[in-house]
Amino acid sequence: MHVLIVKLSAIGDVVHTLPAVAALRREIPDVRISWVVERAAAAILRDSPVIDRLIEIDTRSWRKSLLRLETQKALRSRLSSLRSEPVDVAIDFQGLIKSGFVALASGAPRRIGFSSEALREPASRVFLTEQVPVDDRGHIIEKNIELVRALGVEAAGDYDFPIEVPDAAVDAMEAQAPADGYAILNPGGGWPTKLWPAASFGRLADSIRASQGVVSLVTYGPGEDELAGEVAAASTTGNAIPFRCSLVEFVALARKAKVFVGGDTGPLHLAAAAGAPIVGLYGPTSPLRNRPFDPRDRTIGRSDIDCRTDCYRRSCDKCLRLQIPVEAVQRLVDARLQTT
C-alpha cells in the first residue's frame, strides 16, 4: 500500500503530524509513505526513517508568480511527480483547498480527511472521498492520529517524533552551546498577538541566571535578527545571547536544553518533540489544542481580558503583545524544572 501524506506547513503543524505517520509506519511496516510538504518546513522531514519519499513544493512563491511560464512548468512538474508512483490512499492532514487539490492531483482513489466542521477550509471536503469525525477541541496530535485510525492503525503508546539530526548538526551545537547548561528563549512568533515583549524576555534571562545558574540562548530565524538583539539589550547582566541555528540544529540544541520558553510557534513544538522542558506563552491560540504534550510542561496566557480564549486573531488592539508578568513566567520555569 502506498500512502501519500499531505501536510504542507507550518513547522509546528508538521511536527504535530509526525506521531500519526510514525504510528502508521510502526503498525504497517511494509507501507510505502510519501509526504508532500512546503520547502520551508521540509528540513525536519529529510532523511526521516518513516518516510520513503519526500516531495517538496513551494506554493508561496508560486502564488506570487502564477502566470509566469517558469512557475507553471514547476507546478506541472511537481503535480506530475505525484503521479509517478501510483498512490492508493492520500491523507489530507491540512484541511485546506490547496492541500485537498494536492490529494486529488495524486490520483489516489481513496482520499481521507477531517469531518467538515474540523476542516480549516470546509470547501476542501469536495476533494475527499472519506471524512473522519474528530474532536476539534482536543490536542491536534490526537486529531491527526484519528486519520490513520481510518486505515486500521491503533496508534497506542507514547508519541514518536522521528526527526533525523545529522551528526554535523549535533557537533556544531555541542561546540557552540555552553557546556555547563543553558535555557532557550524564543521571542519570535509570526503573529503580533503571539509575541511576548523583547524586554520581558531580556529580564527573564536575568531571572533564569539568578534562579537556575545558566545563560539563555535567544534563538531566532530569518528576519528576526533585530528582535534577538532587542532581547539581548534588555538583559542587564548580559545573559541573553542571540543564537541563530537551522531547524535541525535547533532540535539538537533543544535536546540538551535545561528549559525552553516561547510562544505557540514552530520552535516550541520542535523543542517539545526533542524532549525539552517547556514553558509556553499563549495568546490567541488554545493551549488545549496546541500545548506541549508532556503533562509536566507549563503554559500561561492572559487572564485580564475575557475575549482572549481561542480567538485566533493575528492582530488585535487589545492583545498586540502578550502582557504576562516576568515573575509569573519565572515561577513556572522553577516549577517545571522541579519535575525533571
DSSP string, 26-78: HHSTT-EEEEEEEGGGGGGTTT-TT-SEEEEE-HHHHHHTTTSHHHHHHHHHH
C-alpha–C-alpha distance, residues 10 and 308, integer Å: 23
Same domain (yes/no): 261, 294: yes
Same domain (yes/no): 194, 127: no
Q: What percent of the chain has pLDDT over 90?
A: 72
Confirm whether 267 is domain-assigned.
yes
Per-residue model confidence as pLDDT tens digits over 151-198: 999 988 899 999 999 999 999 999 999 999 999 999 997 777 778 999
End position of a domain, from candidates 89, 114, 149: 149
- Cβ-Cβ contacts under 8 Å for 22 (sequence gap 6 or more): 50, 159, 160, 161, 162
Confirm whether 158 is domain-assigned.
no
What pLDDT score was predicted for residue 110? 98
Confirm whether 154 is domain-assigned.
no
What pLDDT score was predicted for residue 320? 44
**Interior CA angle at 318 toward 313 and 322, to 5°?**
80
Is the per-residue pLDDT at 319 higher than 60? no
Is the per-residue pLDDT at 277 higher than 90? yes
Confirm whether 159 is domain-assigned.
no
Same domain (yes/no): 236, 309: yes
301: CATH: 3.40.50.2000
Same domain (yes/no): 77, 194: no
DSSP state of 122: G
Same domain (yes/no): 126, 256: no
Tell me which of 156 and 112 has the higher pLDDT: 112
End position of a domain, from candidates 114, 149, 184: 149
Same domain (yes/no): 51, 79: yes
Name the pLDDT band for 49 (thresholds 50, 70, 90): very high
End position of a domain, from candidates 88, 117, 149: 149
Confirm whether 157 is domain-assigned.
no
C-alpha–C-alpha distance, residues 318 and 288, integer Å: 22
Strands 182-186 and 89-92: unpaired
Is the per-residue pLDDT at 311 higher than 80? no
Domain around 42: 2-149
Confirm whether 161 is domain-assigned.
no
Per-residue model confidence as pLDDT tens digits over 54-77: 999 887 665 555 445 565 566 667
Same domain (yes/no): 86, 225: no
Tell me which of 322 and 219 has the higher pLDDT: 219
C-alpha–C-alpha distance, residues 18 and 144, integer Å: 9
Report which of 122, 120, 117 is spatially closest to residue 133, judged by C-alpha positions: 117
Minimum mean pLDDT range among 86-100, 236-250, 293-307, 314-328: 314-328
Same domain (yes/no): 21, 87: yes
Distances (CA, A) of 123 to 28, 98, 257: 31, 11, 42
Confirm whether 298 is domain-assigned.
yes
Containing H/E element for 329?
Answer: helix 326-337
Strands 259-263 and 182-186: parallel
Same domain (yes/no): 109, 75: yes
CB 273 within 8 A of CB 161: yes
Q: What's phi and psi for 231, nearest 5 deg?
A: -65, -45
Strands 89-92 and 2-6: parallel
What pLDDT score was predicted for residue 67? 47
Q: Could you tell me the sign of the dihedral formed by the alpha carbons of 172, 8, 312, 309, in that order?
A: negative
CB 118 within 8 A of CB 136: yes
Chain-centroid distance of CA 196 in Å reads 18
What pLDDT score was predicted for residue 289? 76
CB 22 within 8 A of CB 50: yes
Q: How far apart are the first and last CA of the chain?
A: 41
What pLDDT score was predicted for residue 299? 93
Same domain (yes/no): 136, 186: no
Q: What's the full length of the chain, in residues? A: 340
Same domain (yes/no): 190, 319: yes
Same domain (yes/no): 251, 283: yes
Q: What percent of the chain has pLDDT over 70?
A: 88
Q: Could you tell me the sign of the dihedral formed by the alpha carbons of 225, 226, 227, 233, in that order?
A: positive
Q: Count of domains in the chain?
A: 2
Based on DSSP, count helices (H) and strands (E) in the chain, helices before strands.
12, 12
Q: How many CB atoms lie within 10 A of CB 331?
A: 16
Beta strand extents in the chain (DSSP E only): 2-6, 32-38, 53-57, 89-92, 110-114, 130-132, 182-186, 215-220, 240-244, 259-263, 278-282, 298-301
Confirm whether 74 is domain-assigned.
yes
What pLDDT score was predicted for residue 16? 96
